[in-house]
Structure 1
Amino acid sequence: MGRWCTGWRHAGSGGAGPSVPAPTSAPAPGRRRAPRRRTAPAGGTASVGPTASVRRLAVVTVLLLATAATAALPGGAAFAAGDAPGYAFADGAPRIDGTTATSDAKLLAAGATYRSSLPRNGTLYYRLDLDAASDAYVSVTAVPGSVGEVTAVDGIRVSVQDAEGGSCSSDSATFGAAHSPRPVTAWGMREIAPGGNRCQDPGTYHVAVERARPQDSPPEDWDLELTVATEPRPARTDATEAPEAWDSASPEAVAGEPEPRTGGNGFAHATPLGQGAWRDDIRPGQTLYYKVPVDWGRQVYASAELDGDQEASGYATGALRLALHNPVRGEVDDAAKGYTGRPATVGLAPLPPVAYPNRYATSGQAGAVRFAGDYYVVVHLAAQVAEDFGAGPFGLTLRVGLRGSARSGPGYAGESRPKGLFAVSAQDRAAAPESGGPDDDDLAMKAVAVGGIGTGSLLLAGLTVWTAAARRRAR
């Protein structure tokens, strides 16, 4: 993607076809595996003294606060049986109207997220004001409505242009072989490249957004979510070529009993995950979002498994789709698998370690893993699955793997916008648990780290009261 100034990439191009593995003992659709439980040591009784009481009450408080927070967020809202929740836009994102001419295009500020809409026909423009020292990235997520059918080649096209209309980059994202309406995301960029002769100057640039196949597209407007990010240049640029050697072997499957983790319904509400196996439910037509903090020097891998349905038969093309997006929401890789009612598994291709020089790679996948930060794992179950296999929900297992050691970053000469976008903080790590059964103390401390000052204060107040109560019971 460091050299993709003229080409288009089509998302949703993963292979689709019947998958007929040997029958397994996977649980029925929608049924979660029971979480592991701790038991008292043999020959004794579990401690019920003040420390154990406080720890148990802390966990209860964490879960209650997490439940309340989830209910308050669109990304974790409950939904009626048989309904797949829609896309959850960023909270408080201001609305901005695209224009049909560049002369009156409205400004997209670096570090901000916006909402807009895209008509069936025509190209909409937005303005960028850029310096000559930062790379700029724009992502556009289009959310089609529920009216009308979509085609495999329909979707959105996004390009970044200089003031004279010259192309800096172009990208497209389509619905793919499943013909299932879902949020699709394309991205564009203006990058300062060694020896570059186009889009290198400071000044006015424009973002152009249009439908990929308007003649076959549904007639209603599509909602849009737009983000703008800037990346400063390194204080020193020692490498101007992509790394030639890296471990490209297919990673081993992440083992272990999956633990429950509910996905979000949009990028802004993605559920944090660490390495491990995770269990969720998904309905036909639903798209789930998770985010994994990936540091410099680390490789990320993910696979998704859909439970089988032994009581139904049929076939849905490209039913289970898995995609990985980088911290600016640009798609890195995607894959899809058909569904026959038997368990289906889809996995991502091996990716190089996250490194700044990856942007100079000729491969789009390698070029997209150019910075550290939150990488998004996105899972979609085609709406057509409901025709042969019912409304679900269906059991979903997500396995996330990370390998390699974290390294220092490129040493940026300035600050990104949004701040900290291309780094993994201690809070990011605390918010992304690893499966394997953290103890109660870890759970409570992570909840305080994630919840912020307000939730943390509430938790501490509750613990103070319960500590006093536990001490009185001990006396």
Structure 2
Amino acid sequence: MGVMGRLSRTLPAVAAALGLAAGLPGTAYAAGEPLPAYRTADGARPVQGAESSADAPALEPGAVYGDTLAPGSRFYRLNLDDTSSVYVSAVLVPKPGARIDSGGDGLEVSLMTTAGRSCPGSPGRTTFGYGLGARPIGAAAVRLLQEDGDCQQAGVYYVKVTREASRNSDRSPWPVELTVSREPGLKTGSAPAAAPSGWPSTPPQPPASEPVAREGGTGFNDARALGTGVWRDGLRPGQTRFYRVPLDWGQQLSVGAELAAARLTKDFASASTGLGVTLYTPYRSVVDDKDTGYDGRQAGLTLPPTAPVAYENRFAKGSGAGGARVAGWYYLAVTLGEKVGEFTEDAVPVPLTLRLTVQGKAAAPPPYAEGLARSGFGVDDADRAAAREGLTQPEAAQAADRRATMGTVAAGGFGTGTLLLLVLGGWLLLARRGRTG
């Protein structure tokens, strides 16, 4: 591809970086304008799950797949080694406004042996809950590499993805996004330590700086990068915005979310579940979630600090530390309940403020037998830069492409300039020789 072609690919990233304030509070929408659709992963492979494990299609680590899922279960197949932990996630994407009739409606992901035994860390389950309505939700199952544990052998395993729905809920097929992530094992002789018995759990003082506009994404694939600070966005009833925060080894995340006053259409009304916040791991499993009511005037909630990210957390039982087991991008989903639309103007987003604090100095990574780059885990300088600049993953990829293009242009310019100097120098030398000949 030529330089101009590469530049044409990078211009959208510049436009996106300059347009972060689009869709923020104060921006009016047309009455009845639909909410933005969930952005699927670039390069997602189509797949069709089977009703029986006998016909289950194969999934590969490192890949993302797209399917549809009606109420019930679908099966997929994995061929796993015996040297790595594996995470299988599913994200269910309902139609906006779809009927959710029960708080138990949700998603379950199981990983099992060919004998039908569930692996430790399986199943993973998430529900829509009451009041927040139809929104993207994620769940994950794990094959945990652990001495003397179950599911340690290499071979065939099955993934069972189940959509749970009550009789009166929307029963049409919804898109589901599947990801398979492989975490390499530790070097030989690097036995993991015992699970931590505790960690600093007192929330830090929330940041009080001036808020900076950051428009959240529609899902995990275009989540807006954030770091420590105060961030401003806006939500319409039934809308979920996604954000991502890089957490390195040894670091903790504290989250506070606030809704300011909305434009009311009724003087006295409220939603018992008006604001919901869910924190996801890098492999799209829930770390923590919380919700609170909203009366159109003010609401807020705080998630407790995560445990410091540590390999040993995966062995913790019942302490809440298990989710912070690997460094990488942690995802924050913030939802404004559908019922808020019964007493506010949908055309004007409700102001949202996020107060985030990343605590702790980045520690050395565990002694993995392989690097984490191919797994999608870990934190590097590019991730930290994306958080500082507030980039989504597609924008960060375009920014990297732009830097490479500018480097090519600079190198080309240097080469051309050097050539011109050499040519001019040669002419001068020939001229001098002509004058002295």
Larger radius of gyration: 2
Match of 2:107 among 148, 156, 171: 156
Match of 2:164 among 212, 216, 219: 212
Q: Tell me what 1:172 maps to.
A: 125
Conserved? CA contact 1:427–1:450, under 8 Å? no
Q: Tell me what 1:193 maps to.
A: 146
User: Mapping of 1:32-47 within 5 angstroms?
Assistant: none
Distance 1:448 1:390 in 2: 34
Conserved? CA contact 1:86–1:286, under 8 Å? no
Identity of aligned residues (%): 39
| Secondary structure class of the residue paired with 1:187 | strand
1:137 Cα shift? 0.3
User: Mapping of 1:224-239 within 5 angstroms?
Assistant: 224-235=176-187, 236-239=189-192
Q: 1:175 to 1:274 in 2, by over 3 A?
A: same
Q: Tell me what 2:328 maps to.
A: 373
Unpaired runs of 5+ residues, structure 2, are 1-9, 414-437
| Secondary structure class of the residue paired with 1:451 | helix
| 1:116 and 2:99 correspond | no
Conserved? CA contact 2:132–2:335, under 8 Å? no
| 1:293 and 2:246 correspond | yes
| Secondary structure class of the residue paired with 1:317 | strand
Q: Tell me what 2:231 maps to.
A: 278
Q: Tell me what 1:395 maps to.
A: 351
Distance 1:79 1:113 in 2: 35
1:365 Cα shift? 2.8
| 1:263 and 2:213 correspond | no
Conserved? CA contact 1:98–1:126, under 8 Å? yes
Distance 1:232 1:178 in 2: 40
Which residue type is aligned with residue 395 of structure 1?
P
Q: Tell me what 1:308 maps to.
A: 261
1:335 Cα shift? 0.7
What's the TM-score once normalised by structure 2's chain length? 0.82
Q: 1:152 to 1:277 in 2, by over 3 A?
A: same
1:214 Cα shift? 4.5
Which residue type is aligned with residue 243 of structure 1?
P
| Secondary structure class of the residue paired with 2:330 | strand
Q: 1:302 to 1:221 in 2, by over 3 A?
A: same
Measured against aligned partners, the alpha-carbon deviations of 1:13-51 in whole angstroms (never above 9, x if no partner) come to: xxxxxxxxxxxxxxxxxxxxxxxxxxxxxxxxxxxxxxx
Conserved? CA contact 1:313–1:341, under 8 Å? no
User: Mapping of 1:295-374 within 5 angstroms?
Assistant: 295-309=248-262, 311=264, 312-363=267-318, 365-374=320-329
Distance 1:299 1:284 in 2: 30
Q: Tell me what 1:96 maps to.
A: 47
Q: Tell me what 1:140 maps to.
A: 90
Q: Tell me what 1:439 maps to.
A: none
Distance 1:70 1:221 in 2: 37
Measured against aligned partners, the alpha-carbon deviations of 1:136-191 in whole angstroms (never above 9, x if no partner) come to: 00110101124642021101111111111111111211111215111111110111
Which residue type is aligned with residue 110 of structure 2?
S
What's the TM-score once normalised by structure 1's chain length? 0.75
Distance 1:449 1:114 in 2: 20
| Secondary structure class of the residue paired with 1:268 | helix
Distance 2:190 2:303 in 1: 31
Distance 1:70 1:358 in 2: 39
Higher relative contact order (CA 8 A, sep 6+): 1
Conserved? CA contact 2:132–2:274, under 8 Å? no
| Secondary structure class of the residue paired with 2:400 | helix
1:460 Cα shift? 9.1
Distance 2:387 2:172 in 1: 38
Distance 2:246 2:295 in 1: 34
Match of 1:126 among 76, 80, 96: 76
Q: Tell me what 2:384 maps to.
A: 429
Unpaired runs of 5+ residues, structure 1, are 1-61, 436-442, 466-475
1:65 Cα shift? 4.3
Conserved? CA contact 2:248–2:362, under 8 Å? yes
Distance 1:108 1:201 in 2: 18
Q: Tell me what 1:222 maps to.
A: 174
Which residue type is aligned with residue 49 of structure 2?
G
Q: 1:127 to 1:80 in 2, by over 3 A?
A: farther
Conserved? CA contact 1:271–1:290, under 8 Å? yes
Match of 1:406 among 346, 362, 365: 362
